[in-house]
Amino acid sequence: MVAEVVAGVSLLVWVYLVVGHGRFWRPPALAPVGSDPARWPSVVAILPARNEAEVLPRALAGLVGQDYRGPFRVLVVDDASTDGTGDLAARAGTARVRTDVAHSCGPPAGWSGKVAAMARGVAAAGEPDYLLFTDADIVHPPHSVTRLVQAATERELDLVSQMVRLRTESSWERLLVPAFVYFFAQLYPFPRVNGPGRTAAAAGGCMLVRRAALERAGGLAAIRGALIDDVALGRLLKRGGRTWLGVAPDVLSIRPYPRLADLSQMVARSAYTQLRHSPLLLLGTVVGLLLVYAVPPVALVAGLALGRGLLAALGGAAWLLMSVTYVPLLRLHRVPSWWAPVLPLVAVLYAGMTVDSAWRHLRGRGGAWKGRVIPSRAAAPRR
């Protein structure tokens, strides 16, 4: 009966996740707002870029093609690039939307590279009403800034953030990328982020921030060491204001992850930081992933093979709930729903990547990104 008890615990966890965990599996999208603000506020899009010549032109084309009716310009922070990123950015502006370039020589001591580049952009932006933090691989549709500003002004939000639709063209991307968003939503259920409770987060590819609110919160210096800068910024701004996080099916990331190694690098960079560099949290995470995701299919197969009907039923029910909740995120990324039952395998792969993240930190390679390594002691966001 031990196997039945373990399978029963797994099923109970899934029942809770479905009915009591903030509907994490149905993240909201930003609906069009019915009314325009009385005055269209000024916006500066800040785009940190380090050796992004391959993807930057499409991202800039989307930004300079915005139909926004208020003052708007683009500011690219060239973070010590060696591939001509800055030159590409300088030539991207149009008669309607200006593109400026600020140069950075890298992060000061105690700062993560991304946050330091963002802060350089804030310093060069002047005093706009809003700052739009976005990434070099993010392609915005023409209405993107308009909808973000409409939501921020009508709902009086200090932060409007959208999880963009990630690239799912290769087999590895289809297998692993939707699950990345799924697990993120489990950690930070979007409806809870948008409510009055303590849960806070943001998605770094698209964050519209009220500049005055950021200044009141202490500026980006308050999260200067954060590797997971978006979540840290969401927490910072929610302490004194209102924030909103959703998904954006029409805002796209074009960064390719064609190989398993590419995706593993992305996950391993910050997974152990998310666990606050704690071996106990690492052990609990791995055990939890196996209990919640690996036990159901194993229980179903073992129950059928051994003629233990209760074991098979418990495992099958948990696996079904898991698969059903995964379908909305698969559809968001335009991946066929029949990939849903593969989620247990994906979870095991992510558990391995999390262990790999811890191993990299132990070897002094934690936080490695684009040729830089952020020491572990500087990686955790200040709280």
Cβ atoms 194, 28 nearer than 8 A: yes
In the structure encoding, which two tokens stand for residue 205, read together?
């590819």
Indicate the burial class of 324 (C-beta count within 10 angstroms; 0-12, 13-18, 19 or more).
middle
Cβ atoms 173, 167 nearer than 8 A: yes
Q: Which residues pair with 99 in a beta bridge?
A: 74
Rounded Cα gap, residues 266 and 360, in angstroms: 13
Rounded Cα gap, residues 213 and 197, in angstroms: 19
pLDDT for 379 equals: 42
In the structure encoding, which two tokens stand for residue 281, read together?
């949290």
Listed residue (68, 251, 241) closest to 155, CA to CA: 241
Q: What residues contact residue 2 under an 8 Å CB cut-off, 6+ apart?
A: none
Instruction: Count CA atoms within 13 Å of residue 271 on its CB side.
Output: 25
Contacts 24+ apart (CB under 8 A), 182-185: 182/25, 182/326, 182/329, 182/343, 183/350, 185/24, 185/25, 185/27, 185/329
In the structure encoding, which two tokens stand for residue 128, read together?
């706009």
pTM of the model: 0.93
Rounded Cα gap, residues 303 and 285, in angstroms: 26
pLDDT for 9 equals: 98
Three-point CA angle 251, 258, 62, nearest 5°: 25
In the structure encoding, which two tokens stand for residue 233, read together?
């910024």
Cβ atoms 29, 249 nearer than 8 A: yes
CA 6 to chain CA mean position, Å: 32
* DSSP conformational letter for 380: S
- Residue located via tokens 């500049």: 211
Rounded Cα gap, residues 372 and 365, in angstroms: 9
Rounded Cα gap, residues 286 and 282, in angstroms: 6
Identity at 378, one-letter amino acid code:
A
- Residue located via tokens 């519209």: 208
Indicate the burial class of 261 (C-beta count within 10 angstroms; 0-12, 13-18, 19 or more).
exposed
Cβ atoms 193, 243 nearer than 8 A: yes
Residue 258: phi and psi, rounded to 5, are -75, -25
Rounded Cα gap, residues 70 and 45, in angstroms: 13
- Which parts of the chain register pLDDT below 50? 377-383
